[in-house]
Amino acid sequence: MRSVAVVGASLAGVETARALRERGFDGRLTVVGDEVRPPYDRPPLSKDYLLGKADAADLALLDRDDEDRLCADWRLGVRATGLDLRRRAVALSDGTETVADAVVVATGAAPNRLPGTAGVEGVHVLRNVADADALRADLASGSPRVAVIGGSFIGAEIASACSALGLETTVVEALETPMAPVLGPVVARAAAGLHADNGVRLLCGVPVSGLRGYGRVTGVDLADGTVVPADVVVMGIGAKPATAWLAGSGLELDDGVVCGTGLLTAAGGVAAVGDVARLRGSDGTDARPEHWTAAAQQPGVAAANLLAGAAVTEYRRSPYFWSDQYGVRLQFAGRTEPGDDVRVVEGSLEERAFAAVYERGGAVTAAAAMDRPRSFTRLRRGIGRSAAPV
């Protein structure tokens, strides 16, 4: 293999470039990114960056030594607009193309928006630095009332930042308990309690019916007739994989780029990594992990398999993620299903400081913790083992 094109210049793309070089690839390496700025880490955008405790330089994923080692052709500020599978040619928005022996799709995901909200002042999503800059400017304008639509992890982190700024904040969540599908109801209720503990209003179980205001938002209408006054609205209602540029390419697309557990697609020489990759295993597993750890770990598997020309290794890691909210670190690993038993092995749910395991059929299926990092690390190692006393 003499050349590889990596489409996407955030964490998954950078780690793919790094993994290729570390595994001995010395050919031409092209990295395409739609943002002009050099690659940067996204998790701080909803935390320290939003609070003004970090600047753009603190987010950088590469230093000068990294750039020298990677020796890549960085095509920044241009979007991929199409893929010719036969030629392995990626068409770019500036009218050029990059042709390679292998292509890695690492284009991530784009945040969902409520219909009709584009262009309304005071309405935000948070995915990149430009989004964060716009939101930060609005939050610093007077003392705005903030409504966060969606009690997801990013929604909770944004609410936490707004609370730290002393702003009147309301979180609106359509589910009865935010994050329950991921954390299960017991731990999700404990996590949701952080909002009230910190003076943030949480409205659950009622969907949003629309926004108020002409030109600039003034409030959020809920389906039950409730009106949430707001000068700033932030939408944290999930994201969709960035695959529009691949329409008609011949790659299988289904809420992501479909690939095997080795991150290779059915089209030889094309892999997918990060938020855009939908992994389908021979055992019937079907998942699209949207976590920082997956974006950091999958590239090593994809690089090894691309260089080998076959799926010689698999990505089989249990999901793991963390979220910093209101000065508390929430950690979770594994997979939970309705009916799992939750056993607190340290601390207290009510005090928002605990470590817990999820058990099903005599085995530990997941672990969760709030401000118990050492205990969580130990419990995480026990996932998949018999549920012996802890």
Q: Average pLDDT of 155-167? A: 97
Return the percentage of the chain with pLDDT > 90, whole number. 92
One domain for residues 86 and 230: no
* Residue numbers of the domain that contains 276: 3-109+239-308
339 inside domain: yes
320 inside domain: no
Cβ–Cβ contacts within 10 Å for residue 73, how many? 13
Return the percentage of the chain with pLDDT > 70, whole number. 99
One domain for residues 101 and 9: yes
229 inside domain: yes
One domain for residues 248 and 170: no
Instruction: Please give the tally of structural domains in the chain.
Output: 3
- DSSP E strand boundaries for 11-168: 28-33, 73-76, 80-84, 89-92, 97-99, 102-105, 109-111, 123-124, 146-149
56 inside domain: yes
Q: Give the pLDDT band of residue 387 (cuts 50, 70, 90).
A: low
Residue-wise pLDDT tens digits, 169-198: 999 999 999 999 999 999 999 999 999 999
Query: Which pLDDT score, from 0 to 100, does residue 285 have?
Result: 83
Residue whose C-alpha is closest to residue 222's, from 237, 204, 209, 205:
209
Residue ending a domain, among 203, 235, 267, is: 235
Q: Average pLDDT of 45-57? A: 94
One domain for residues 247 and 102: yes
Q: Average pLDDT of 32-56? A: 95
The residues near 184 (Cβ < 8 Å, ≥ 6 apart) are 336, 338, 340, 342, 358, 366
Query: Which pLDDT score, from 0 to 100, does residue 333 have?
Result: 96
322 inside domain: no
pTM over 0.85: yes
One domain for residues 27 and 172: no
One domain for residues 88 and 164: no
One domain for residues 119 and 227: yes
One domain for residues 134 and 193: yes
Task: State the distance between the two ends of the chain, measured CA to CA, in whole angstroms.
Answer: 50
Residue-wise pLDDT tens digits, 82-92: 999 999 999 99
361 inside domain: yes
389 inside domain: no
Q: What's 357's domain CATH number? A: 3.30.390.30
Of residues 304 and 282, more confidence is placed in 304
Residue-wise pLDDT tens digits, 327-350: 999 999 999 999 999 999 999 999
Residue-wise pLDDT tens digits, 352-365: 999 999 999 989 99
**Spatial contact of 157 and 47, defined as CB atoms under 8 Å apart:** yes
Q: What's 198's domain CATH number? A: 3.50.50.60
Element (H, E) at 155: helix 153-164
Query: Which pLDDT score, from 0 to 100, does residue 388 have?
Result: 53
Query: Which residue bears the tokens 């500020």?
Result: 77
Query: Which pLDDT score, from 0 to 100, does residue 390 have?
Result: 47
315 inside domain: no
Query: Which pLDDT score, from 0 to 100, does residue 255 have?
Result: 96
One domain for residues 297 and 363: no
3-state secondary structure of 239: strand
